[in-house]
């Protein structure tokens, strides 16, 4: 026996190469799927109106535009494979209920706006002056986005 020589069992070169290649293919596939999900695939639209301001309640208080309603109806029709009769019934229901939603929004708007203002005020009390200024800029940016989304 030669001193200093290690005798550990070695995998033959061909099976080792196959294992390494399989691992590489698997890792590449996982990376490709992750890249597709994160970067390349657009975020699917939602049947819920996107947030239009700094606080998500701003969306609940915003009446959907005719374009919003058309987009929602189209998405539901596609996703649910509605028949023309179902599509027509859905349109009638959404049109009828839109009036009720509008009245409800106007009824709760003052309470919600006051609650949002109170929350913002409470948050500002725990922020440093620099953080408070950043927070206000975020609010203004959200308010600008809301005005832009509700502009005709």
pLDDT for 113 equals 83
Q: Are residues 32 and 61 in the same domain?
A: no
Q: For residue 52, is it within any domain?
A: no
Q: Are residues 101 and 146 in the same domain?
A: yes
Q: Are residues 37 and 82 in the same domain?
A: no
Range of the domain at 104: 57-150
Q: For residue 108, is it within any domain?
A: yes
Two structure tokens written together for 117: 């203002």
Q: Are residues 138 and 67 in the same domain?
A: yes
- Overall number of domains in the chain: 2
Q: For residue 132, is it within any domain?
A: yes
Q: Are residues 73 and 137 in the same domain?
A: yes
Reading the chain (152 residues) residue by residue, the pLDDT tens digits are 455 555 556 767 787 888 888 777 777 777 776 666 665 555 444 443 344 444 555 566 677 788 888 888 889 999 999 999 998 998 888 888 888 888 888 888 888 888 888 988 999 999 999 999 998 888 887 666 555 555 54
pLDDT for 15 equals 78
Q: Are residues 34 and 71 in the same domain?
A: no
Q: Are residues 65 and 116 in the same domain?
A: yes
b/e 23-33 (16+ beta carbons within 10 angstroms → b)? eeeeeeeeeee
* Pairwise CA distance, residues 30 & 38, whole Å: 12
Cβ atoms of residues 142 and 55 within 8 Å = yes
* Pairwise CA distance, residues 45 & 18, whole Å: 43
Nearest one of 44, 48, 43, 106 to 72, comparing CA atoms = 48
pLDDT for 52 equals 43
Q: Are residues 135 and 83 in the same domain?
A: yes
Q: For residue 34, is it within any domain?
A: yes
Q: Are residues 63 and 25 in the same domain?
A: no
């Amino acid at each position: 026996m030669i001193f200093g020589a290690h005798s550990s069992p070695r995998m033959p070169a061909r099976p080792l190469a196959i294992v390494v290649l399989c691992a590489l293919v698997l890792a590449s596939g996982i990376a490709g799927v992750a890249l597709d999900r994160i970067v390349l695939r657009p975020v699917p639209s939602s049947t819920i109106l996107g947030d239009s301001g700094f606080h998500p309640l701003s969306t609940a208080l915003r009446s959907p535009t005719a374009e919003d309603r058309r987009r929602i109806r189209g998405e539901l029709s596609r996703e649910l494979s509605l028949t023309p009769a179902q599509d027509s019934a859905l349109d009638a229901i959404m049109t009828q209920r839109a009036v009720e939603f509008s009245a409800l929004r106007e009824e709760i708007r003052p309470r919600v706006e006051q609650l949002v203002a109170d929350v913002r005020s409470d948050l500002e009390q725990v922020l440093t002056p620099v953080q408070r200024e950043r927070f206000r800029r975020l609010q203004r940016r959200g308010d600008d986005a809301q005005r832009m989304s509700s502009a005709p």
